Structure 1
């Protein structure tokens, strides 16, 4: 495989069917040239569409978004573990856990608005985009972040200005 300007070119030799195929670096007489977009594993897909279901959302500091117990709906950062409270699914511009959606509480748009898990309503405060490994609210244009510059276990997840260090960068695992 050869990486060419954001696309991968794959040359398949049909040697089991056709005779004369070679793979000595020169194009084979019988080959198929396929190009498809490269999706790098463990990175948020630009545009936020159709990332794998039921994955952890990890910060670059090695903490995971966590919904806690069923009675608690505020998201916090916790040590990553194999727990349902840390598994999220991505559907177009929604991030869900079971039947609930990631939600900017009270349809808030200001910095510091808590991020909660709430019944899916389809409102804009439950719509999210990704940009440079950040998760940004469509309504607020703010990113998931914390109230502190130093990220710690147990920190609540809130809306934060995307240009400042309180905005979190994520990978999907």
Structure 2
């Protein structure tokens, strides 16, 4: 049976090992890592999936900001990575983790402006993310434009650069 717990209750080394299993080598060079910079994940929005006590999945959410071309910074929550151990993929664990993170964001009133880099068919269909308002966003690395997704009434549809934000209350 899968149990969802806060990620900060799991040893950081175990989370890193899961991320290594779930993603290709060199994951630290991906654009999403550059966007979030040295920020710390938001503890109340980051979760782990346990299967009989064994870590099989995780989701982290990060404080980021879109700095518009006019210099105004719009805070956003970056969702991901969603990591599921390869031996447990296709069992709905990622969906459970996304639901936990989005429910927590709503409970903490942090769901006004959320973004992620991911599969538009999956994240759009199940979670309401789209690329509608992200066309003019610049990132500090390569991205497939159709995979730059956002949701929430506070998502700005302006030109700007996405990058790390120092802190978020929650």
TM-score by length of 2: 0.25
Larger strand proportion of the pair: 1
Larger helix proportion of the pair: 2
TM-score by length of 1: 0.25
Higher relative contact order, chain-length normalized (CA < 8 Å, sep 6+): 2
